[in-house]
């Protein structure tokens, strides 16, 4: 194995391969920064160029591009509060507040460095697990996914902030929004208001972009100050990147746990990055020493969302390589690149074609490091952006909103969804209702329903007896009951009074 690893490294380090990877990284870099324009679309656009390439070259180009989009997607989230990808929503939650305090350098340093670490973790998972992964992937099925969505939904309570009832109400609203679309059991259009556009449900990217980005842009227009207007010490510490890196190292358990969550969820086709980020973010909050800082600029929240995103890419390659079953749209394109290159996924990838598999591992790692290094080089000018006058950024940010929404399905309906989401986001901030439980429920609601029905159809009621399900149920009870007990013990009876509603 060691030999194969080195052998594949030397393949990747060929001049032409490396050049193609850098080209891919450059494209992925830009695409990641632009909201809405995501990895899968770009891969599909670039696929024709790989027809004439060698397998390793093709992967260097495509994979390099793909893994970088999720890294740089976080940059837009942190700097402008507009998620660069649907999977970068969690990064806005704490990254953007840090930026507003003038600590964008620190936040970017943390999110980028944890991304790099996460990608290494994901790549390791890919390298180590490919030979042994089959039983694990096959053992995880709809019941486990359903339980995982439940675990995710319990974070609603934690992420609601001060007012749990408001959080729960927003979550129920999110569940209702998640129900919009054709139901997967009987094919009935639900809450579609006679619009065929809504049959596929509310698109996630416009929703995320509007919910978080819309309010921020409007805020800039109203206040006419710079993004980092809260900064007290403007020009002296403009970067703080080193601090972010140190933060990441200090919070290494968060990196590890989030990476593990990312690569596991990436590994099983089904849930995907938009779910993984919130589960990682939620667990980071659960285990944090200062959970009350979450949503207001907790650096461990930033680190968790950075690490999870990139670990998931390595994980998502596992089923593609091992079974020829892509976990998502992006890996589906990679699979066609596989077939075009004349490679057969499956056992061969672990024997005769092992060097190709390992070259993918190297590409994931190298591409991320190149991208992160390049991003660090650009950090200074990027963070400066947050100090210039806000209104100057407005035309540019509005463009990002419009394009980010529209490119979801090239329809004006997407822009409308974005605008409605923006209105909800603004109202939430104005009257102090939490936005995150809403988004979490939108992401998880539809999935929970689908997997509950699939679980029952596949296994009858026996699905409740599956070991992993029971295990997760125990965790769930732990997550719910233990903090509740602790709170009960710590808090005097008059507690509700101190928890006053601000409005």
Partner 1 sequence: MTTPDTPAGTAPAAPTARQKTEHRLPVVDIVISLGLAALFGNAFWIATEWSERAGLFPRMVTLLGVALALLHVVMLLLRARRAVPVVESRVDADDEAEGDVEYVFAHAGGRVWAGSLAWVAAFFVGLYVVGLFVTAPLFAFTYLKLSVRRSWVFSLVYAAVVFAVLYLAFEVALQLQVPPGLFF
Partner 2 sequence: MTHRPLTALRRAGGAAVLVAALAACGQDGETSGDGAEANFYEGENLDFVVPYDAGGGYDVYARAIAPYLGECLGAEVVVRNEPGAGSLLATNATAAAGPEDRRIQITNSVGTTSAQIAGAEGVMFDMSEFSMIGRLATAPDTVAVAADSDLEDFQDIIDSEETVRFVATGPGSNEYIAASVLSAIYGFPYEVITGFGGSGEARLAVIAGNADAHASTWDSHLGAIESGELNPVLVTSDEPVELLPDTPVLTDFTPESEEGQVLVEDLVNLETLGRGLVAPPGLPENQLTELREAFECATTNEELIAELEGQQRPLDVLNGDEYLELIESVIDSSPEFIEAVKASF
Phi, psi (deg, nearest 5) at residue 181: 125, 180
Q: Which is nearer to partner 2, 62 or 110 (CB)?
A: 62
Q: Is 351 in the site for partner 2 (CB under 8 A)?
A: no
Q: Which is nearer to partner 1, 172 or 464 (CB)?
A: 172
Q: Who's near 253: CB < 8 A, 6+ residues apart?
A: 287
How far CA 300 is from CA of 49, 52, 61, 195, 381, in Å, comes to 40, 44, 32, 42, 25
């101190």: which residue's tokens?
498
Q: Where are the beta strands (DSSP E) in 123-233?
A: 181-182, 189-190
Beta bridge partners of 181: 190
> Binding segment for partner 1 among 6-14, 134-142, 316-324, 418-426 (CB under 8 A)?
418-426
> Binding segment for partner 1 among 57-65, 96-104, 131-139, 140-148 (CB under 8 A)?
96-104
Question: Which residues inside 1-30 make contact with partner 1, applying CB under 8 A?
Answer: 30
Q: Who's near 449: CB < 8 A, 6+ residues apart?
A: 178, 179, 184
Tokens of 429: 């901030």
Binding characters for partner 1, 46-85, by CB under 8 A (x = yes): ----------------------------------------
Among 7, 233, 292, 344, binds partner 2 (CB under 8 A): 344
> CA 184, CA 189: separation in Å to the nearest integer?
9
> Binding segment for partner 2 among 168-176, 184-192, 299-307, 432-440 (CB under 8 A)?
184-192
Q: Is 79 within 8 Å of 226 (Cβ atoms)?
A: no
Question: Which residues inside 131-160 make contact with partner 2, applying CB under 8 A?
Answer: 137-139, 141-142
CB of 98 to partner 1, least distance (A): 8
Q: Is 246 in the site for partner 1 (CB under 8 A)?
A: no
Q: Is 32 within 8 Å of 72 (Cβ atoms)?
A: yes
End-to-end CA separation in angstroms for the chain: 61
Q: Is 498 within 8 Å of 162 (Cβ atoms)?
A: no
Q: Is 67 in the site for partner 2 (CB under 8 A)?
A: no
Q: Residue 489 binds which one of partner 1, partner 2, none, with CB within 5 to 8 A depending on kind? A: none
CB of 454 to partner 2, least distance (A): 4
Question: Which residues inside 163-202 make contact with partner 1, applying CB under 8 A?
Answer: 165-166, 168-169, 172-173, 175-177, 179, 183, 185-186, 188, 190-191
Q: Is 345 in the site for partner 2 (CB under 8 A)?
A: yes
Where does residue 189 fall: left (phi above 0), alpha (psi -120 to 50 degrees), or beta otherwise?
A: beta
Q: Give ∠ CA 312-314-315 in degrees, rounded to 5.
A: 60
Q: Is 385 in the site for partner 1 (CB under 8 A)?
A: no
Q: Is 262 in the site for partner 2 (CB under 8 A)?
A: no
The contact set with partner 2 (CB under 8 A) reads: 23, 40-41, 43-45, 47-49, 51-53, 137-139, 141-142, 182-187, 189, 196-197, 199-200, 269-270, 319-320, 322-330, 332-333, 335-336, 338-340, 344-348, 409-411, 447, 450-451, 453-454, 457-459
């Amino acid at each position: 194995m060691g030999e194969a690893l080195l052998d594949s490294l030397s393949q990747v380090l060929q001049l032409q391969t490396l050049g193609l990877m850098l080209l891919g990284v450059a494209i992925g870099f830009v695409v990641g920064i632009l909201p809405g324009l995501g990895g899968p679309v770009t891969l599909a656009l670039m696929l024709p160029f790989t027809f004439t390439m060698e397998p390793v070259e093709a992967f260097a180009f495509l994979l390099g591009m793909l893994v970088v989009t999720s890294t740089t997607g976080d940059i837009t989230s942190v700097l402008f509060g507009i998620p660069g990808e649907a999977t970068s929503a969690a990064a806005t939650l704490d990254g953007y507040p840090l930026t507003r305090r003038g600590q964008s350098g620190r936040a970017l340093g943390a999110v980028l460095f944890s991304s790099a670490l996460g990608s290494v973790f994901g790549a390791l998972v890919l390298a180590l697990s490919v030979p042994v992964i089959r039983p694990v992937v096959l053992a995880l099925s709809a019941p486990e996914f359903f339980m995982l969505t439940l675990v995710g939904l319990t974070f609603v309570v934690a992420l609601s902030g001060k007012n749990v009832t408001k959080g729960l109400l927003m979550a129920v609203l999110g569940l209702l929004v998640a129900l919009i679309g054709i139901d997967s059991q009987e094919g009935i259009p639900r809450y579609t208001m006679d619009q065929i556009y809504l049959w596929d449900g509310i698109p996630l990217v416009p929703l995320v972009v509007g919910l978080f980005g819309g309010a921020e842009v409007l805020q800039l227009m109203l206040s006419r100050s710079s993004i980092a207007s809260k900064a007290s010490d403007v020009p002296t510490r403009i970067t703080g990147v080193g601090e972010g890196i140190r933060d990441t190292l200090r919070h290494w358990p968060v990196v590890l746990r989030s990476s593990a969550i990312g690569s596991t969820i990436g590994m099983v086709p089904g849930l995907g990055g938009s779910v993984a980020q919130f589960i990682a973010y939620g667990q980071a909050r659960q285990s944090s020493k200062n959970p009350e800082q979450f949503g207001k600029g907790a650096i461990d929240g930033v680190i968790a969302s950075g690490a999870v995103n990139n670990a998931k890419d390595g994980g998502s390659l596992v089923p593609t390589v091992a079974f020829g079953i892509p976990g998502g749209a992006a890996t589906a394109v990679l699979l066609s690149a596989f077939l075009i290159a004349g490679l057969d996924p499956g056992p061969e990838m672990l024997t005769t074609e092992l060097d190709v598999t390992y070259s993918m591992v190297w590409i994931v790692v190298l591409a991320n490091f190149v991208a992160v290094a390049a991003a660090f080089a650009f950090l200074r000018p990027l963070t400066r952006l947050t100090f210039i006058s806000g209104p100057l950024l407005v035309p540019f940010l509005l463009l990002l909103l419009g394009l980010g929404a529209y490119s979801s399905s090239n329809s004006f309906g997407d822009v409308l969804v974005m605008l409605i989401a923006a209105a909800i986001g603004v109202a939430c901030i104005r009257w102090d209702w939490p936005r995150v439980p809403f988004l979490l429920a939108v992401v998880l609601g539809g999935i929970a329903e689908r997997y509950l029905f699939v679980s029952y159809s596949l296994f009858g009621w026996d699905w409740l007896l599956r070991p992993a399900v029971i295990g997760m149920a125990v965790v769930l009870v732990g997550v719910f009951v233990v903090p509740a007990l602790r709170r009960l013990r710590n808090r005097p009876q008059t507690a509700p009074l101190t928890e006053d509603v601000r409005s």
